[in-house]
Structure formats: structure tokens, C-alpha cells
Structure 1
């Protein structure tokens, strides 16, 4: 009788405790994609528990404390991790979703009106991989190492970056069976009291759940039977006949029935320095296209299942769209099918950890997102930055038992910059807390929490303020270019994608970042300088559009290295010449090039020889920089009738150089001191490492001055110069 009464009270308590079913959508509002829960616009700020053992279960003491901390400061959006491994047992036909319920219930126990996004890892369970070795990834350069252990007591993602046993992302069997289990989870969880609080599914797969191909940083996937079958089917769709395949591959060795995945030697082969010649390397280019497509198709497939199964409107999102800090292996494991992802109706948001590039992430850095944000917004998708940088704290000894005072003013400045920048850019973030796995929360401190509360409340009041870009610089990026580059670390790639852009972002100007395929979606009138950062491949149609619509109206166009060198069919220096309007010549440089920028005077160099290497030989141009050894011009400006052309035979480096190019272009310089400065929608952010007296020049001509301490943030009203947050 006592047991019956107890169970009755538990059931009654759960019924009273349950929320009404929630729904969520992302739709345009005030000029930006906005998250709505039950029709109410939300400030896009989450707190998330880690996926790591020791800190991932919401009901355990330390995670529960930190969930409650964020609830107390006003957070109502939370994210928790769950793996199919947790609920899909070997030899069981059905899922046991009690752990899923308990994971959501743990959040609700600390914050009764919370809205929860479940990060569901759809990777095959480890027992499934062992039972289906022919469905698993194989590598062109290494044997699968079956001794690498993952899962309890190891983290589930242990050894993802190595040649571990993992289901091929091209496996039709894995995709079908994991898809069936995802549908089952959605149907079951949606009917529970805990499911009422679920507003989203973050669908995770591949390395660390970030849709990178298994082992891609160190190895060359995927030569297994599943990927080989997929590749042959992909080739049949593209070429239709063996005759067409052999013509394009320039070989009689392969047919549609026996085509294989390229070897490591083939993948690394190039015909022109860093560049693959499409005429001679189409086999490798085709494979990388197929590999990239299968990953994107997987992500879209699983998100579609969630959308079509959940009985109420639900938000779906993925990790995708990484460009910055992708380990110089974008071709093998990056996110090159970004356009297809952005166009998918089944995906509402993209996300990534903020860049790991040290100069960007540490004090004084930009805290740049890894994705191309303005393109994401143009396609109606929301973006979320993952803030996972507690390790930057000065005292990071991870004491497991004794709580210690962990406040550090420099780290506090970093974490505030990490939060303010995405909210200013019209996107969101979540704090991803690895701290509990070591015995405390990274932000379990009253000062950090008070700061986070202040930030959230400030931006909640701005939800009704229309979003508008205040940039007059536009940085243009390409993902397609990586199909035509050697799939290895190159002196130009890490330099441009991580190092150079960070220096540009500290020039005191404000810039937007878009993909090359979105140029025709923009109102170009606001931009005085447009920098083609890594756009070495342009179609003939794109090149025509740039000539007719972009290189106009007195703008300065910066062609950063070999803009448009390939059109997808061939490599041709004349493509570059026609864009720049300059006479360019090849030269042979047998040592690491050193660039001497003339005014202002400084030098910089690369970490290896650059091939192909060009110089400017044109008397109608003004030399801005030259090779230190030979005095040949490598950066030059040419004034045309409708625009100014600046060609960089070697990528532009140096904050001072970027600032001078932008100044000559007529761009507004807010700050001359190499701090990170950003403005958007009436706000101006300044983040400095060194401190000192700063003079900020507003667009209306007003100058404001501030004495700043080391490691300082200032958030100003961009019109009055009034400090609105410190």
C-alpha cells in the first residue's frame, strides 16, 4: 500500500511539474533570423553541459548546480548531450529512452520553465561498428586500428581523429538504422512530460559530432566498401556512361563498375604548385566532391527525420560551415557543401566553436566565428557560437575536490567579448561547460554570472531594435576553392584563413564576411572596399558579375593572391589578369618569400615557398609592397575609371597595411591602435589587450577618448560615444 501511494504521489508530482507542450521556430524578425518559443522572441543565449564524462549528466550534483546558476541569472535556454549509444542497446529492437528523459528532467529540476535542445549524436554505437566492419571507414594511408577504445570509461569521442573503427558516413545501413532509431526517439520522447520542454534537436555526427569525416586531420578516409559503392553511384549520376567517365578522367583504367577511391599519392598530387589542374586531376576532384556531398546529405537527412517526426514545430541545427581554423584539411574533412546546407529547409541553424586560432581567441583577439556569418544570415539561418574557452583562465589547475576562487579579470574580459560579439552580429551562443567534469563549473562564480546576467538583460531590451550592418569592408570567401588546392597545410591557407583575417579585423574598420556565391544577394552600395580573401576559383558567370557589378562605383577591390585562377575547368593566369587589369608575370622563388610593405614600412614572411609565384610588371601601377630580396613588386594599386584595383601576388598581412589600404579606399577608421573594433546596429565594441589611452572616431565625426586598463571591453553607443557596458 505504501508503494502504491508513493507511486501515485510521484505520478501526480510529475503531472503537476510538466510543462505544456512547447513549439519553436526560427524566422525573420527585425532584419535577422530570430528564435521564437511558443511565439515569443528569445535572446539566443544558451547554457550547455559538456558531452564529456563527469560533466554531462544533468542530474548529477555539479552539473545540476551550474544549471541552477544559469537559471537564477535568467537563462531559460539549455542544451544537453545524448548519444544513441546511451539508449540503443545491443540485441534490443527498441530504444530505452529513460536516460533521455532523465537528461531533460535534470534540467527541469533546476529550472522548471526551461526550454531544452537535445544534442543527439547519431553516430553508430560502438557495438554496431564491431558487428559491421564492412560498413566502417577505411583509410588510404593506414589500417583501421581496432585497439583504440571509446565509450565508458573513455569519452565517446575518444580517438575520433585517429584511424579508429567508425561507421562510414557513406554507409546506407548505418544511415537507415540510425535514422530509424532517431525517429523512434522523437516519437517516444515527444509523448513524455520531459518531451514537452524540448524545443530543438541539435543533430551531431562525425568527429566530435561536428560532421567532419573520421580521422581527417591525420589520415585520408574513406576507401571502404560503403564509400566505394557510394562513389560509383555518384559517378553514374554525374557521367552516365563509362565513355564519359574515361574522357574526363583521361584514362582507360576505370569504368563505372570498377572505379576506386583515389590513393593518398593521387590526393596530394598537383600540377601547378599548390593547385590541382581540373584537366588532369578530375578523378581526385570528383572523389572529394562525392565525399563532401555524402556528409551534407547525411546531416540534411537526419534533420529532415526530426522535422517530419516531431509532432510540433521544432528547431533543428548542426555543426557545419567551418572555414576558419579547420586544420588546413578542408578538402578531406571540411564543410564544402555549405551552399546546399544553407539552402536546406530542414536545417534552422548552424554552429561552431569560436575559432581556436590563438591570436583570435586570447585577450585582444577578435573572437571570430569559424563560419561565414553574414552569408548564414542572408539564407535565413541562425548561427550559434559555442563558447568553450574556460581553459584560458590564468588559474586552470582543475582541482577536483576543493573549490577555489577562480575569478580573473583578463579572462572576464575575454568571456565578455565572446558573448557580446555574436549578439551584436545578430547571432547567438551557448556556454559549453567542460568544467563540471573536473569538479566545478567554469563559470561557477558570482562575478562571471553577474556579468552574464547584465549582458543578457541588455540584449533582451534590444530584440525590437532592427538589425543593420555598419560595415564598409566586405571579406569574400570560397569553400569550393579547396577542391582545386593540395589537401595539405599550405603557406597561403593557414595564413589567409586564420592569421591574415585576424590582422585585418584589428585594423579599426568594420567588415562583413560572405561567400562568393552570395555576392548577388548583397546590397553592395555600403561597401567601399571588397577583399577577395581566398577566392582562387570563380566560374565564368561569377567573374562576369564581378566585373560588371562589383568593380564599380569607386570601390577598392583587393585581389588577395590568385583570385579566379581556376574557373573549374582549367587553370589560366589570364583569368587573374582580366580581373586585376594588371600585367602579371610568373617568377621562380626558391626560398621563403619576405614581403616588404613600403608605407607604412614593415616586413612579413610565410612559413614556406609559395607556388605559383607572381610579380607585378606594370608601369601603370603604384607599388605598395615588394619582395625584400629582389625588389620586384608583389602588391600594387591601379586606378581605373570605375574602381581601384589592388593586387596581392602574396597574401596581404599586417594590420597596419590593411588599415592603410582601407583608408585609401575611404573606409571609416574607428580606432588606430590595433585593437579589435566592431560596430553593428548602433553599437560599437572595443576589445583591447594592452590598454592605454584610446581615441575612437565615430562615423558622425565625433571623437571620444578613454583611458583603458589591460584586457578591457567597452560597448559604446555608436552615435553618441556613451558607454553602455564596460
Structure 2
């Protein structure tokens, strides 16, 4: 055994397993239980729907002040007994490697004790983060993350900036974090409230969401990552000769290879990286992503194995919608984590696109929930859309002003939960830094919390009671359309300081599905790597979103197994443009079955569909940069559906075959009207012909109108019934999927 590992093992024994904190009997036992198609919590033999209250970062987290008592009492009275609380272990990480027990009691144990006094039936999810403390970073500077954009900024604690942090590639940090986590778990077991812990949310890196520290600053060029990169290259290439051939560089060796700098990260000729010329940076980003995956794999297993009772373990992960900088942030390894035996649930907030968060918005989860469910996991949404009780907006979302607007928003959120068989926690923002009333806080009831009004808490209570009953019925996901997105594609997109790539990503990842929500159809979202695992016979249409890297083998599968049974297949922008080894426009033609050729447009591209004009609109405005490569359809055998504005060049076309139909959009497809037309002709059920948000499944149909839209609506249920509604602008109606009865009216 190597000396450093022997030292860590002995320290774990002295400070952890032999710490003098014997585990108290009677710990809670918790696991996921799948009942009639839904994932529920089994806590000590009793089933709970996955709905929690979470005030971990707000002033209202304290149960000893008026605000905290109000909020915890409100949610107790609404029937929600599951509460999340946060522990930042760096605050209790002593310089000698021991756990600061008084600090743990102050930050966590006493808070949970106070909550338990208010609600004796409470069970706890503990969100644990183990950033390295500042003294540790000062002691081990060689273990820190470094940034390609510039030196570490020791004057900031903003993890999106160039803040001092331990590199996720640091073996020393991981080993010493094991020691402090082990002590924490051992101590927590001995407490009365520790016996009520049913779940751990493991937080790490930027925002505790496992996005790499300083991702916009292009990490990680530090010593720890350089060591890991060289080991990664040795594992992949074995010899210097193989590495030199792959990188087209006769001077490089495994022992001297370094992480790419900013000049190389910026190098590109357009939206794509060329695998034949930029293998070095592709290799680095694969190493970067796998580093995050390995840390997650380690700590999820560590928590499972060091808590002596059945416990749930989950983390934030799998963000796609409204994300960017995919190569440097993380999540491209998500497909591997879906199969982890140590992970029970994944979590994420709502899409930050304004079409998701404005009044009448979609409340779209940020992850591919279809794949989470397919792999037997649970998806938990951080319900962080802000109500009218918090005066400020965040991330440009609408500031609501009335109970009615906030109730409408909560209903759309709830419709996503029910239809996707998922869960969520109510995130508290009262007193959150930057949100009223953080600066001038008064412990008055009207300022007590994000949900503290009779109307909101009444709505939350009704929703909880409804879902408690709904889970006794079979879950049916009434979706006719499946969307597939490929995380591996992002390796081949030149993201760094590249506006055109950002435009394409945003249109494909956000506007494509945003318009689908308003097409009147119900749809599922999956990871492309699950294509062979999904029962495609359920779907009338399959849409390939950001799927620009497709292997020859997958091409055969799509052509043989997806294109059949009368199915509509929609492909977007540059499907199959690369197989991971080269860029080749001819491969686009093979999957679209159309003659496709490059086209040069020197202005920001806009396409015209059904008389409407659609740019790429990365930030809510028309596309503002030219894009390369662009493609046009030059095929006399297609039906033209859209053209590039200002020219006769075909941007969207359809080709019908005897047993299937292919639609190719050379920019990501836009327009609820066009989607509605295509989906209806493919045989998909259309619930609503207006451009309202539709969410259906799990026994409900939800319709949400924008603030500038309202009036008569005819909702078509699958059983043939029609429901006539007169909807006000900015409202949400939830119907029973079978009877058409209005719920929560």
C-alpha cells in the first residue's frame, strides 16, 4: 500500500470508524419504491410522494425566528413533512483534519431540532457540500484549480469567477474530504435528528451543482488537472507515437502534454470543431468531463457505504435546457451516471429561458426526464420560480404581482410534476442574498416567505392532497412525440467565445422544445444514447434535437428502426455531420434522404415558416451573427416548408416515403403552428389548437395562457370529449384527463 493511502486509511479509522461516535440505533430506512409507474419514497415502510420544503440558504431557515416558525408550520399544515437543510462542511473542517462539532450543531443539528419541535413527523434531506476551506487551499496551492482566462482571483468567493478552489482532479482533496465527510456522517448518526435523515443531496463544485468551478473562465489548467490529463492520455494512447499521430504533433509526449490554453480553445472555423485538427482539445474536454464523473461516482458510493442504513442519495445533474458552455461546465457524462447503483435521484431547477418562467410559461425541467425515468431513477425539480411575495426577479424572469399570477405558476409547476411522475421541493427565497427582504428584514408574516400567503399555501395543500391520492392509480404518460438530445455532440461544438455556436445551441435546446409545448402535443425528452432502449412504438413522431454526432452504426439503426411504422422523423441543423472522426456534409444527406449542400449567408440567418420569421434568438432577440456552416436543401423531390428569408434557398422540407416521413430543418425547427401541422398529420393527438402551453399525462391535462392571450378554448381529450373553456390571460387550468373536470378551481 502506498504511504499516502496508508495515511488516509489510518486517519479514516482514527477520525471516522473509530471516532468514538457509535451509531445510534433506530436510523431511518429509505429507498425508492416504484408503484404503478411512479417513483415514491419508502420511508420506514410508509410511502411518501416526493414533495419537500427547502429553505437551506434563506434567513427563514431558522425555526427559532418568527419567519421560520411560520413557514415550517405552513408546510406542516399543508401535509408536507419532508424538509431539506444544508450543511457546508468547509465551515466545520478544522486545520488538523477533525470535524468541528459545535459548528455542525450550530449550522445543522440545532436547526433540525427546531424544525422537529414544530413538526414531530418531519424527515430530513441533508444537502451536503464539501468545498475545501481557504486554509486548506493556502496549505496546498498545487491542488488548486487554475483558469485559462487568467490567474486565480483571491479577492472573490464567486465560484463562477476565478475564485480559489480545490481542483476536482486533486487526489489529495478527495482523500481528505473523505475523512471529514466520514466524521460528519458518524457524528450525525448519534443525534436525535440524524435518526430522521432519509436522503442526502450531495453538492459539489460551482453552486453545488457539479458544474466545474469557474466554468466561464475555462478551467482547469492547474497542476492537479495536468497530472490527471497525462494519466488520461496514457490510458487512452499508451505510447507517445500513438499520441503524436492522433494530435498530428511529432514533438508531444505523454509526460509533457499540457492542458490547452485560451488560444487553442478559441480556435475554430465556425460552429464545429474539426476532429482531425483539434483532437488535443477534444481529448482534454473528455478528460475534464470524466474527472467530474469520477468524483461524483466516488462520493455517491462513499455516502451510500458509510451511512449504516438504507438512505437515498442524489445530486444536481444532467442539465440541458437553458445551459451553455457544455464542455467546461459538466454533465456530458450524464448517460453513465444514469446507470449508477449509488444514485437514486437527479435534481435541477426549471429552464431559465423566459418562455419557461414568464407568466404562462412552460415550467420546463432542465434535464431529460424521460431518460431519468427510463433508468429507474427519480427526477426532482428545485421549484425556484419566484412568487409575487419576493419583490425582485432573478435571471430575468417575470416579477409576479398578485396571488392569482403566482397560483397559476404553481399549477403549471405541479402539472409538470404529475405528468412526468417526478417530484420537487419548494425552494425558499425569503432573505436569500439579493432578494427582498434580505437587507431590511422584518419578522412580519407578510414577509415570511416565498409561499406565505393563504392563497398559495391553500393551493399547495390541495396539490399535495391530490397527488397523495393520484399515486394509487396507474401512471400513464400520454406522449405521442419523443425528443432526443445527444450530450456527446457538444464535444464537437466550438463553444469558447463563439457567438454562432451559442445561437445554434440555444435554438436547438430551448426554442425547439418551447414551441413544441405550444403546439398542442404531449412529448417526452430523452438522452440520445437511450435511443435503443426506448419503446419507439409509442411515438407517432421522433425529433432529433442536438444530435450532430451520429456513428455509422447508429445511422443504420435510425434508417432501419426509427424510420418505419408511418412515423414522422424530424432532424435539425446538422444531423450526423460528424461521426467523431471527421466533418462530412454528405452524412447529412444520408440521414435526411435529401440533397443537402452548404450555403453561405453573410447575415444572421432567418427562416420563414407559414409566414412567420424565425431567427436563432439566443437571448430573446433575432439571430445576430452569421453562422457557418449553414446548409440548404437542393432537391426537386421534396415538399418545401420554409425558406431562408430574403432568398429562394430551402431551409425546411419534407419528404414522404411509403412507411415514414422525414422533415429536415436546416436551422432548428421553429413555430408552434408548423409543429402542430406536422404532428397532427403524423397522427399525434392535439389537445389545443391555440398557441398555449399544454402539459398532459399522469391523469391531467394542463393549459396555460400567456399574459397577452386568452379567450375561448376547446380542449380535445383523448377519449373524444371536448371541454369548452373561457380562459383569462396569464392563467393555468388543470383538467382531469378522463372526465374533463376542472381541478383546483
Structure 1 length-normalised TM: 0.92
Shift of 1:683: 1.5
Q: 1:223 to 1:718 in 2, by over 3 A?
A: same
- What is the distance in 2 between the residues matched to 1:143 and 1:593? 38
Asked if the contact 1:395/1:406 (under 8 Å) is kept, the reply is no
1:627 aligns with 2:632: no
Shift of 1:46: 0.4
1:556 matched residue in structure 2: 568
Moved more, 659-668 or 83-92: 83-92
1:399-445 deviations in Å (ceiling 9; x for gaps) = xxxxxx98521122112211331132100000110214434211111
Equivalent residue for 1:98, pick from 90, 105, 128: 105
Shift of 1:21: 2.5
- What is the distance in 1 between the residues matched to 2:402 and 2:55? 20
Moved more, 461-470 or 223-232: 461-470
1:384 aligns with 2:380: yes
2:655 matched residue in structure 1: 638
Task: After TM superposition, list the pairs within 5 Å mapping 1:595-634 onto structure 2.
Answer: 595-597=607-609, 600-606=610-616, 607=623, 608-634=625-651
2:318 matched residue in structure 1: 321
Consecutive unaligned residues of structure 1, counting only runs of 5 or more, are 1-17, 151-158, 399-404
1:468-510 deviations in Å (ceiling 9; x for gaps) = 2111111111111110001244221111212232111111111
Task: After TM superposition, list the pairs within 5 Å mapping 1:150-299 onto structure 2.
Answer: 150=157, 159-217=158-216, 219-271=217-269, 273-299=270-296
Asked if the contact 2:89/2:131 (under 8 Å) is kept, the reply is yes
Number of matched pairs: 687
Asked if the contact 1:531/1:558 (under 8 Å) is kept, the reply is yes
SS in 2 for 1:657: helix
Asked if the contact 1:292/1:335 (under 8 Å) is kept, the reply is yes
Equivalent residue for 1:147, pick from 150, 155, 173: 155
- What is the distance in 2 between the residues matched to 1:19 and 1:385? 32
1:450 matched residue in structure 2: 458
1:136 matched residue in structure 2: 144
Task: After TM superposition, list the pairs within 5 Å mapping 1:18-57 onto structure 2.
Answer: 20-52=26-58, 54-57=59-62
Shift of 1:129: 2.0
1:223-244 deviations in Å (ceiling 9; x for gaps) = 0001111111111111111111
- What is the distance in 1 between the residues matched to 2:280 and 2:354? 36
- What is the distance in 1 between the residues matched to 2:580 and 2:226? 24
Shift of 1:147: 1.4
1:718 aligns with 2:718: no
Asked if the contact 2:419/2:699 (under 8 Å) is kept, the reply is no
Moved more, 133-142 or 92-101: 92-101
Task: After TM superposition, list the pairs within 5 Å mapping 1:390-401 onto structure 2.
Answer: 390=386, 392-393=387-388, 396=391
Equivalent residue for 1:676, pick from 663, 668, 693: 693
Structure 2 length-normalised TM: 0.90
Task: After TM superposition, list the pairs within 5 Å mapping 1:340-419 onto structure 2.
Answer: 340-390=336-386, 392-393=387-388, 396=391, 407-419=402-414
Shift of 1:80: 0.4
Equivalent residue for 1:307, pick from 292, 304, 307: 304
Shift of 1:325: 1.1
2:428 matched residue in structure 1: 433
Asked if the contact 2:356/2:362 (under 8 Å) is kept, the reply is yes
Q: 1:183 to 1:92 in 2, by over 3 A?
A: closer
Q: 1:296 to 1:57 in 2, by over 3 A?
A: farther
Moved more, 483-492 or 313-322: 483-492
SS in 2 for 1:461: helix
- What is the distance in 2 between the residues matched to 1:376 and 1:236? 33
Consecutive unaligned residues of structure 2, counting only runs of 5 or more, are 1-23, 394-399, 433-437, 442-447, 617-622
1:523 aligns with 2:535: yes
Shift of 1:307: 0.4
1:3 matched residue in structure 2: none
Q: 1:612 to 1:435 in 2, by over 3 A?
A: same
1:237-270 deviations in Å (ceiling 9; x for gaps) = 1111111111111112321101100111212222
- What is the distance in 1 between the residues matched to 2:233 and 2:565? 44
1:484 aligns with 2:492: yes
- What is the distance in 2 between the residues matched to 1:243 and 1:201? 46
Shift of 1:37: 0.8
1:15 matched residue in structure 2: none
Q: 1:629 to 1:299 in 2, by over 3 A?
A: same
Asked if the contact 2:230/2:254 (under 8 Å) is kept, the reply is yes
Shift of 1:58: 4.5
- What is the distance in 2 between the residues matched to 1:394 and 1:618? 56
Q: 1:350 to 1:397 in 2, by over 3 A?
A: closer
Equivalent residue for 2:76, pick from 67, 71, 80: 71
Asked if the contact 1:50/1:434 (under 8 Å) is kept, the reply is no
Asked if the contact 1:27/1:380 (under 8 Å) is kept, the reply is no
- What is the distance in 1 between the residues matched to 2:185 and 2:69? 25
1:336 matched residue in structure 2: 332
Shift of 1:710: 2.3
Q: 1:725 to 1:139 in 2, by over 3 A?
A: same
- What is the distance in 2 between the residues matched to 1:411 and 1:462? 23
SS in 1 for 2:531: helix
Shift of 1:621: 0.4
Shift of 1:191: 2.3
SS in 2 for 1:435: coil
1:547 aligns with 2:559: yes
Asked if the contact 1:506/1:655 (under 8 Å) is kept, the reply is yes
Q: 1:397 to 1:289 in 2, by over 3 A?
A: closer
SS in 1 for 2:470: coil
1:80 matched residue in structure 2: 85
- What is the distance in 2 between the residues matched to 1:189 and 1:341? 27
1:506 matched residue in structure 2: 518
- What is the distance in 2 between the residues matched to 1:572 and 1:468? 41
Asked if the contact 1:32/1:380 (under 8 Å) is kept, the reply is no
